[in-house]
Amino acid sequence: MTTVVFTEKNKAAAQIAKILGTGSVSRTSVEGVQVYEFKKNSKHWCVMGLAGHIMGYDYPEEYNNWHAVDPKVLLDAAPVKSVTKQSYANAITRLASSADDIILACDFDREGENIGFEAKSIAEKVSKAPVKRARFSSLSTGEINRAFEEPVAPDENMAMAAEARQILDLKMGAAFTRYVTLSVRERVRTKGVLSIGPCQTPTCGFVYERERSIRNFKSKDFWKIEALFSTHGYDFTGLHRGGHIQDKAKADCVFARIKDCKVATITKKTVKEAATNPPYPLNTTEFLKRASKFLGISPEQSIEIAEQLYLSGFISYPRTETNRYADDFEFKPILVSFTKGVYAEYALSILSGEITSINGKKDGHDHPPIHPVHYVSKTDIEKAIALSNAWQIYDLIVRHFLANLMKPALFEKTRLEITVKDEIFDSTGSVQKDAGWLRVYPFETKNDKLLPPVEERQNVGIKKITNTKSRTSPPKKLTEAELLTLMDKHGIGTKATAPSHIATNKKRGYFETKGKSVFILETGFTLMDALNKSVPILVKPDIRARIESLIQEVENGEKDFEASLVEGTTLIKEMYSQLTSNKNELVSQLAGTIRDETVVVDKKNYVGECPKCQRVLRIITTDKGRFVGCTGYPQCKNTYSLPKVGAINILRSRKCKKGGVAVAKVGNKYHWAMGIGPCFNCDMEKECFPPEIIGACPKCDGDMFLINITSKNTRFLGCTKRCGHTRSLPKNGRLTILKKVCERCGWRMIRVKEQDKDAREFCANRVCAQSSSQRKANRRLYG
């Protein structure tokens, strides 16, 4: 009798074989795939790990030519599922052909069930062996033994839900990406692909909406009146109850009345004890948010590490919506394992009393919350997992698990109402009375603000009162934790796929993360802006949330698989219709932006931003001459003149103080401010381009500087005060003013390099008798 087991990955296969085979396991290779064999209950067992999905959907070959196939056709065409990893399919066929029993042991979620069904569909072509399903939430010995002792029937609804998602995502992604990309290519030459995805796009849309709020924010002035009070040697602050006062006259009036007051009265004191409860048990979304917020680890990296911790048998399955423990959850065995090592103090404290969890309200009916399976040391983690931050992730999961079972943290919160000449100020503070769960959870920082011991009707001194002008600040950039919250709230993606949608946007170059914040890139902003103006339904999460509901109904057995495809395709067609109806508006903006990006890369001709339309200014050369024009033409006809001759070099670090849009160097002769004209006609030229000082003028209190008269091919030193004193310079050779100075007179040293001659350095001051050799060198240079 032979039992064949298919797991989702090789690491899980090795772990399961080790547990079921009680350590007596041999490893072999079938079609190049590792298989673990052992004897159990007089049966021969073979355990094989897959490589995730080994089959995938795609359109038949006749649909692959983008230019020959109307993208709309893809919405009604039927994608075909085929093997993408042939060696695994071959191994399944070999093993299944001699199997008496087949057990699917992939991860217990929608994708895991679907991967198992891929193996099942291949196996059933050569075998009539019954197929069972082993369900487990961790790779612990007890749970694996129980799962294989009590196998259940595979869940076809769950597998088909994943199938529906794959097909609908392919239809929308392929059709929309092709349509937008091809439409833009009609207007502008580009090899780039503008990727549109059913989850990818609304995910980027959240980042776009925040960025739009930041860019459109109009800052306003406000005034804040604060007082510094003092009593019994303690200083503490209070804020005027008016808070942020928008009316300057009102703020000035209040401040004028009280600015000279020296005494205030405590008119009310309130003291309350407040408890801060431990966090709910960890589900996937909360785990990813906290790993990003507290550890600065990206969602995609966090879920990868958690997956490896799970496969190593250190934590439970990391993809779950559940944030509540079942009534019969066994905490004690796990806690006992933590009575050694760095967490012993906390585990012993929990075990000494009644074990109670503070539960949330979400129950996915699949897996328990993410929790540690047993204690392992940092060394154990680093030996088992070759990923940086693995210990930090394990430590966060352990501490969260322990914190959830500990007592609330207690604080004493005090609020003072302080009166200054009938004007009320408020001051609040808190003192931690019992750290509770915060003892094990250093990630949550509570900054206590202490207030002095005062009573009602007591007078306190006033050290100073200030009336500070401030400005309102724009919204902050989204953090990855906030982005995950928005995705979860609006049903974009699932607990398993959310990190991948963020990663896809980064890969496409639509946004990036810096620290914990998400920054949208110009390509992403432009694409989202164009879609939001022409087909806003693509950016908003509503349609995707409805499709996710359809998929969930398939999993729940409430909707037929085929019916979900019909309904989902109808929703996608509605969006596609809006896309095609607004093609001109969408493509005009996208094509213009791509053209602008091409100009920006051309550093020789790129000038800057057009002040009239915010598109791009560039140098345009025609048979009749050259000028600066806007890429927004013909809608924007903004132009600027340029000199007829001379190479133009845009000085990007220079800003014209007269309002010119850019400053350029014309050859090596002079500067030109676009929209203003030549800088030598401007009274601010010396302020914008201050002369390079060589040394002090011997005749007056001015300074000597270099003067180049290129039209006469001559150069000399002149005085900034125009006293008439000059000094000649060598006529030939490239002249460089050096940083170092003459030790005798303090003037700057000069370097001259003539063609086919060695470079020479000398003092720019001809009368400086630095040495006889210096004088001889000067005679040779000056003649």
pLDDT digits (tens, 9 = 90+) for 313-345: 999 999 998 999 999 899 999 999 999 889 999
Mean pLDDT, range 91-113, rounded to an integer: 95
- Least confident range from 484-488, 524-528, 592-596: namely 592-596
User: How many CA atoms are closer than 13 Å to the CA of 28, on its beta-carbon side?
Assistant: 10
Neighbours of 611 (CB within 10 A): 12
Q: How far apart are CA 447 and CA 107, in angstroms?
A: 42
Can you give 586-622 as a three-state secondary structure string?
HHHHHHHHHHHHHHHHCCCCEEEECCCCCCEEEEEEE
**% of the chain beyond a pLDDT of 90:** 63
Question: CA-CA distance, 564 to 547, in Å (whole number)?
Answer: 9
* Longest distance between any two alpha carbons in the chain, whole Å: 112
pLDDT class of 288 with cuts at 50, 70, 90? very high
Mean pLDDT of 592-619: 76
What's residue 770's pLDDT? 46
What's the pLDDT score for residue 592? 67
Phi-psi sector, 421: left (phi>0), alpha (psi -120 to 50), beta:
left
Residue-level pLDDT at 208: 95
* Euclidean distance between CA atoms 630 and 640, whole angstroms: 9
Nearest alpha-carbon partner for 108 in 321, 357, 328: 321
| Helix axes 200-215 and 480-489, enclosed angle (nearest 10) | 120
Residue 470's pLDDT is 94
Mean pLDDT over all residues of the chain? 90
pLDDT at 738 over 80: yes
**Band of residue 783 on the pLDDT scale cut at 50, 70, 90:** very low
| Mean pLDDT, residues 52-67 | 94
pLDDT at residue 772, as a whole number? 41
Asked if residue 95 lies in contact with residue 124, where contact means CB atoms within 8 angstroms, the answer is no
pLDDT over 60 (residue 769): no
Give how far the C-alpha of residue 544 lies from the chain's centroid of Cα atoms, to the nearest Å: 22
Instruction: Identify the pLDDT of residue 771.
Output: 44
DSSP code of residue 556: T
Does the pLDDT of residue 776 top 60, yes or no?
Answer: no
Three-state SS sequence of 220-237? CEEEEEEEEEEECCEEEE
SS3 732: coil
Evaluate if residue 628 carries a pLDDT over 80: yes
How confident is the model at residue 239, as a pLDDT?
Answer: 96
Give the model's pLDDT for residue 712: 62
Note the pLDDT of residue 535.
85
Please give the share of the chain, as a percent, with pLDDT higher than 70. 96
**Among 85-99, 142-156, 493-507, 544-558, the least confident range:** 493-507
pLDDT at residue 545 in the model: 85
Q: How confident is the model at residue 711 (pLDDT cuts 50, 70, 90)?
A: low
Tokens 């914008």 -> residue: 688
* Phi and psi angles of residue 430, each rounded to the nearest 5 degrees, phi first: -145, 155
The tokens of 623 are what?
A: 């048979």
**pLDDT tier for residue 161 given thresholds of 50, 70 and 90:** very high
pLDDT recorded at residue 228: 96
Strand 726-728 and strand 714-719: the pairing is antiparallel
pLDDT at 686 over 80: no
320 with 284: CB under 8 angstroms? yes
**Do 417 and 266 touch, CB atoms closer than 8 A?**
yes
pLDDT of residue 46: 97
Q: Give the range among 135-144, 356-365, 602-611 with minimum mean pLDDT.
A: 602-611
pLDDT score of 190 more than 90: no
Query: Which range, 173-182, 726-735, 737-746, is most confident?
Result: 173-182
> How would you class 89 by CB atoms within 10 Å of its CB: exposed for 0-12, middle for 13-18, buried for 19 or more?
buried
- Region 624-653 average pLDDT: 87
Residues 21 and 15: their CA atoms lie apart, in Å, by: 10
Cα dihedral 654, 655, 657, 660, rounded to 10, equals 110
Give the residue among 294, 308, 315, 300 at the shortest CA–CA distance from 387.
Answer: 308
Q: Are 34 and 49 in contact (CB under 8 A)?
A: yes
Q: What average pLDDT does this structure show over 241-263?
A: 95
- The residue-averaged pLDDT of 495-500 equals 82
